[in-house]
Amino acid sequence: MSTREMVCITCPRGCTMQVEQFDGAIKVTGNFCKRGEQFAVNELTMPMRTICSTVKTSFPESPVLPCRVSKDIPKDKIFDVMNEINRVVVTERISRGDVIIKNVLGLDADVISTSDLLRKGE
């Protein structure tokens, strides 16, 4: 059996949790909501993270457009996904939520725009 302290990063509350592992089972205490338990289990099996970044555009008034992954990706793929994001140049006027890279690196997550900065009429 092993016990470790873990801080849940799911929301700004940032619960400090006690995570016990025994016989393959994981017991979580100190979490305010059930997302804490899910976070702890993921951290011990497959840690997941989100990425928020920017992509280059060809529009001089807005040289970069904010973007993020549509759902969490494995933590060890962060820099691989960043490489993909940094290879893109947006040349069309797209809206918030539009897909910039579909199914990035086959991780089942899209890279999407998070701003209407380039929308027509902005």
Partner 1 sequence: MIKTDVLVIGGGPAGLAAAIEAHKNGAKVILIERESRLGGILKQCIHDGFGLVRFEEKLSGPEYAERFIDEFRELHIEALLLTFVTKVQKTESGFVATVVNRDGVMDIEAKSLILATGCRERTAKQVFIHGTRPAGVFTAGTAQHFTNLLGELPTKKCVILGSGDIGLIMARRLTLEGAKVLGVYEVKPTPSGLTRNIHQCLNDFDIPLHLSHTVTRVFGVDRLEGVEVAKVDENMRAIPGTEEYIECDALILSVGLIPENEIAENLGVEIDPKTKGPKCDASLMTSVPGIFSCGNALHVNDLVDYVSESGETAGRSAALFSGKERKMASVIPGDKILYIVPQKLDTLSVGSETVVYFRSKEVYDDSIFRITVDGETVFEKKYAFLRPPEMEKVIVDFSKCGLSENSKISAEIEVTVK
Per CB under 8 A, residues contacting partner 1 are 7-9, 11-14, 16, 49-54, 56, 63-64, 66, 68, 75, 78-79, 82, 86, 96, 114-117, 122
CA distances from 73 to 15, 50, 86, 111, 121 (A): 22, 6, 17, 11, 34
Q: What are the residues whose beta carbons fall under 8 Å from the beta carbon of 11, sequence distance 6 or more?
A: 35
Which CB, 22 or 108, lies closer to partner 1?
108
Closer residue to partner 1, CB minimum distance, 23 or 110:
110
Measured from the CB of residue 102, what is the shortest distance to partner 1 in angstroms?
19
Alpha-carbon gap, residue 46 to 68, rounded angstroms? 20
Min. distance of Cβ 23 from partner 1 in angstroms? Answer: 27
In the bound state with partner 1, the residue whose beta carbon lies nearer, of 22 and 47, is 47
**CB-nearer residue toward partner 1: 22 or 75:** 75
Q: Please tell me the distance from the alpha carbon of residue 44 to that of residue 17, in angstroms, as a whole number.
A: 13
- Report in angstroms how near the CB of residue 11 gets to partner 1 at its nearest: 5
- List CB contacts of 24: < 8 A, sequence separation 6 or more: none
In the complex, least distance from residue 93 CB atom to partner 1, rounded to whole angstroms = 15
Q: Residue 22 — left, alpha, or beta (φ > 0 → left; ψ -120 to 50 → alpha)?
A: beta
